[in-house]
Amino acid sequence: MKRLSSPLPHWLKPSARVDLDQLWWGIRPVIRTQLSMTVERALIARWTGRFGFHIALDTDGFLCVSRNAYFARGVLALDRSVGKHTFELGIRLGYPFCCCRRAAEVGDEGLDELAAALSQQFHGRFKLIDPSGYPDGRAFISHVPCSARCKHSLRMASALQNRQAAADLC
């Protein structure tokens, strides 16, 4: 039987696989991603209608997807608003409080540096929260964790791994 994975369309970036899986299994309420190509709105509407998603899309190809239209529109509006809102955006996107706080400390511009500093530091079961495979859609979290031993991120990652493993058995 076919795996009940989230329905990743060809017009989203490969990284959206992780976000969509989290949304699909209710691990996060809303996700933010980007189109990988120009696509007709009708095609997007068909996809959202088929899977019960709501989408908010801006003119630069960034989009928020949720089962709740209000969440999708609200997060996209916050993302596009002027000013620093790293913490609030992270909370609304369903990331752990500790990781949102850390992200706000380093700022959006410091997240890549934080990710680089954490790389090679994940050991044992915490390898599950290594986000380095995220761009290719091979990670269990879609945010940069506050540390290489963040238990809240591990809980999220484990939830996704468990749901994927259960779906593979179907």
Point out which residues bind Zn ion (CB under 5 A): 96, 98-99, 146, 150, 152
Closest contact distance (angstroms) between CB of 103 and Zn ion is 9
Closest contact distance (angstroms) between CB of 137 and Zn ion is 22
Candidates 95, 96, 98, 93; CA nearest to 79 is 93
* Closest to Zn ion by CB, 72 or 114: 114
* Closest to Zn ion by CB, 75 or 146: 146
* Closest to Zn ion by CB, 56 or 99: 99
Half-sphere CA count of 117, side-chain side, radius 13 A? 10
Closest contact distance (angstroms) between CB of 100 and Zn ion is 8
SS3 per-residue string spanning the chain: CCCCCCCCCCCECCCHHHHHHHHHCCCCCEEEEEECCCCCHHHHHHHHHHHCCEEEECCCCEEEEECCHHHHHHHHHHHHCCCCCHHHHHHHCCCCHHHHHHHHHHCHHHHHHHHHHHCCCCCHHHHHHCHHHHHHCCCCCCCCCCCCCCHHHHHHHHHHHHHHHHHHHC
Closest contact distance (angstroms) between CB of 11 and Zn ion is 32
* Closest to Zn ion by CB, 16 or 150: 150
Closest contact distance (angstroms) between CB of 40 and Zn ion is 39
* Closest to Zn ion by CB, 6 or 153: 153
